[in-house]
Amino acid sequence: MSDSTAPETGSETTPNRRALVTGASSGIGAATVRRLRADGWDVVAAARRADRLEALAAETGCEVYVIDLTDDDAVTALAAHLTASGGLDAVVNNAGGAFGLDRVEDADLDGWRRMYEINVLGTLRVTKAVLPLLREAGAGKGVADVVNVTSTAAQGAYEGGAGYTGAKHAEHMLSQTLRWEIAGEPVRVIEVAPGAVATEEFSLVRFGGDADKAAAVYEGYTPLAADDVADTIAWTLSRPDHVNIDLVTIRPRAQAHNSKIVRGTGA
């Protein structure tokens, strides 16, 4: 079934479909909203900052949903809203981030709590809430999707990164476990794990607003852009119904590992 106004995606699971994208007010989430709208999806864009979501809605025609994903009741209300307004075919659990780059011995417990709360429990909370809707959509249309945006931080350690790598490892295990638990049902579980992506806020947030430290992360090489990740997400969603892309790792060419970035070679 395809929307005549949508570009051809080559998928058996083409729109008219509806996606929820979390963390849509900046970076990878906003780029994913733009890309899915261009591909013909209806998109519900969720985050805390209404002004940024409203600007995205004016640009793309997405629906705005202002929410703090650390709030259980708010996520329950989001699921009720989605149920009452047409259901859901895909969720892109993208909201997340890193707070600090402290060695274990200097770790800030509050920063660790916040990382677990948004990356792990935020993804869990949203997934639990919308899974019944995805099951229903999958049963009716052939397939529905959970896409979790983790990180290469889910694949290995780096110094100062334990709070974030721990949270992203947990998100990875959540993804893998859910895939095993619902195997055979018409809901795919997809993980997209980016390396260094130069988004406007990720490193600024990590370094508490220190613009020089944030800029240094991306100096001397070409990092991924948010659009590169959005493109990957859209590709996973557009595979034929019987294909589950379990995990895509996407890095800049200059990055071989979390802590190995080759600078100054033109890569």
Ligand X SMILES: NC(=O)c1ccc[n+]([C@@H]2O[C@H](COP(=O)([O-])OP(=O)(O)OC[C@H]3O[C@@H](n4cnc5c(N)ncnc54)[C@H](OP(=O)(O)O)[C@@H]3O)[C@@H](O)[C@H]2O)c1
Q: Is 131 in contact with 82 (CB distance < 8 Å)?
A: no
Q: Report in angstroms how near the CB of residue 216 gets to ligand X at its nearest.
A: 13
Report the site for ligand X in 182-241 (rule: CB under 6 A): 194, 196-197, 199, 201-202, 205, 226
Q: Residue 13: how many CB atoms within 10 A of its CB?
A: 23
- 60 is a contact residue toward ligand X (CB under 6 A): no
Contact stretch for ligand X (CB under 6 A) within 24-32, 129-137, 182-190, 250-258: 24-32
Q: Give the Cα separation of 66 and 249 in Å (integer).
A: 30
Instruction: Kindly tell me which of 119 and 238 has the beta carbon lying closer to ligand X.
Output: 119
Q: Is 65 a catalytic residue?
A: no
Residue 151 interacts with ligand X (CB under 6 A): yes or no = yes
Sole binder of ligand X in the list 27, 87, 166, 252 (CB under 6 A)? 27
Residue 192: CB minimum distance to ligand X, A: 9
User: How far apart are alpha carbons 245 and 143 in whole angstroms?
Assistant: 13
DSSP-assigned beta bridge partners for residue 194? 250
**Catalytic member of 65, 116, 158, 164:** 164
Q: Which helix (H) or strand (E) holds 149?
A: strand 144-149
Closer to ligand X by Cβ: residue 17 or 206:
206
CA distance 100 to 140: 44
**Chain centre distance of CA 203:** 16
User: For the chain, what is the largest distance between any 2 Cα atoms, rounded to a whole number of angstroms?
Assistant: 57
Q: How far apart (Å, rounded) are the C-alpha atoms in residues 202 and 224? A: 13
Q: Among 96, 100, 161, 166, which residue sits at the site for ligand X (rule: CB under 6 A)?
A: 96
Q: Residue from 87, 97, 100, 161 that binds ligand X (CB under 6 A)?
A: 97
Q: How far apart are CA 172 and CA 194, in angstroms?
A: 12
Q: Which stretches of the chain bind ligand X, using CB under 6 A?
A: 23-29, 47-49, 67-70, 94-97, 118, 149, 151, 194, 196-197, 199, 201-202, 205, 226
Catalytically active residues are 164
